[in-house]
A and B are shown apart, each in its own frame.
Chain A
């Protein structure tokens, strides 16, 4: 018997939905046999307030599995998320925005008021325009990950998430078992040669190519961190690897950290910086260290820089 499933997207870019589609051939039996999709704004025409707008409260049909993508950024996201929580037995947060705030949470690093004014009242906007207060749902005080607002039963990060593991989550749920997901870091899936980071003293900016033999397998390339590049592999959850090599590394580019921290509650910024300083690498050589939180700005991690000067006066 097919399992009823509801899909929702909050503050997201639809990359995660494309990732679902990228499950490829295996997707067909999933959506035709395994799942009974009862609600999915991207795929089917199902409205919140009744098909003709006759409803007064936001309503999503009951489902066993709920999958949400995207972060919680405004009041509408919050309402939708809460409704999903009420209606779904098992709620899955899919993609890094849903699990850790993702790219939209970069906003948390700036003053919200200033950002909104910047967006809506620049030279290119209509003269005299202000921050809109109708039609655009009012923003929350900052960008949240889903689990900061409701209980989440399963997290599957990735920007985008790996279709293989999306399938695994769905199948395992349908089969009533725990999914088999990677639990270590990107390095675990990386084949680059490692010896130790002791020889690096500064991190290089990624403005020149890493050293590798074109055509030679990754196994013959020295670990990018050991080459002096800010590869976030050690502090990033594994999961991106397809055909045995992490996404970025297969392109000979250092990991940017898009799967978020390895451990729940892990802190990529702190862990990465600690990994560097513990090896005697000058942490001051990291340009814009807060960008290490580029995918994980929720959970209060990324916050506007306090103006220390003002504080010292009083």
Chain B
């Protein structure tokens, strides 16, 4: 059987989660590998969750937030951006390919951008293969 990765996507309630809803309303089709967890803001995302997810069998983690300067809470997505730069480097320290993490800005109207982001991420992880759990 071909490799079907599991990807966890943390979506901001105000933007990307709405974009995902809109993609549904427009009946856009995209790979079924992504499981969305709704957060109120991308700034709510604790980097711990990235490692948690990877060590429990996720093959990729995404964070999707509002465009810079459009965060409902002013600077949440800037925090997410800073953290993501850091996480990408730390993933290597902990033995994961940095490509397993992705941060994308998607407004509530950009259903196409949402679909593109998850489709590309799925393809990227398929190419990368399964993540080797943290103990491995």
Contact = CB atoms under 8 A, between A and B. Distances in A.
In the complex, A touching B, CB below 8 Å?
yes
A86 interface: no
Given A270-B47, A283-B85, A290-B93, 18 more contacts: A267-B48, A270-B51, A273-B47, A274-B83, A274-B86, A277-B82, A277-B85, A278-B83, A283-B86, A289-B90, A300-B95, A301-B94, A303-B93, A303-B94, A305-B92, A305-B93, A306-B92, A306-B95
B96 to A, nearest CB: 9
A160 to B, nearest CB: 27
7 contacts: A270-B47, A270-B90, A274-B47, A277-B85, A277-B86, A278-B79, A300-B134
Contacts of A303: 93-95
Contacts of B86: 273-274, 277, 283
A62 interface: no
Interface of A: 267, 269-271, 273-274, 277-278, 280, 283, 289-290, 300-301, 303, 305-306, 308
A35 B94 CA distance: 42
Interface string B87-122: 001101111000000000000000000000000000
A274 B46 contact: yes
Contacts of B2: none
Contacts of A269: 90, 93
B29 interface: no
Q: Which 4 pairs between the two chains have the least Cβ-Cβ distance?
A: A277-B82, A277-B86, A283-B86, A274-B47
A308 B83 CA distance: 22
B135 A300 contact: yes
Interface of B: 46-48, 51, 79, 82-83, 85-86, 89-90, 92-95, 134-135
B85 A289 contact: no
Contacts of A306: 92, 95
Given A267-B51, A271-B48, A277 B83 contact: yes
A233 to B, nearest CB: 19
Nearest to A276: B86
Contacts of B95: 300, 303, 306
A107 to B, nearest CB: 16
Contacts of B90: 269-270, 273, 289
Contacts of B85: 277, 283
A271 to B, nearest CB: 7
A280 B109 CA distance: 30
Contact of A280 (B47, B82, B93, B135): B82
The residue in A269, A274, A303, A305 that gathers the most chain B C-beta atoms within 10 A of its C-beta is A274
Nearest to A281: B82
A269 B90 CA distance: 9
A288 to B, nearest CB: 11
B56 to A, nearest CB: 12
A312 B83 CA distance: 25
A300 B134 CA distance: 7
A290 B48 CA distance: 17
Nearest to A286: B86
A226 B48 CA distance: 23
A41 B92 CA distance: 41
Nearest to A304: B95
B93 A278 contact: no
A305 B134 CA distance: 14
A274 to B, nearest CB: 5
Contacts of A278: 79, 82-83
Contacts of B89: 283
A289 B94 CA distance: 12
Contacts of A267: 48, 51
Contacts of A305: 92-93
Contacts of A289: 90, 93
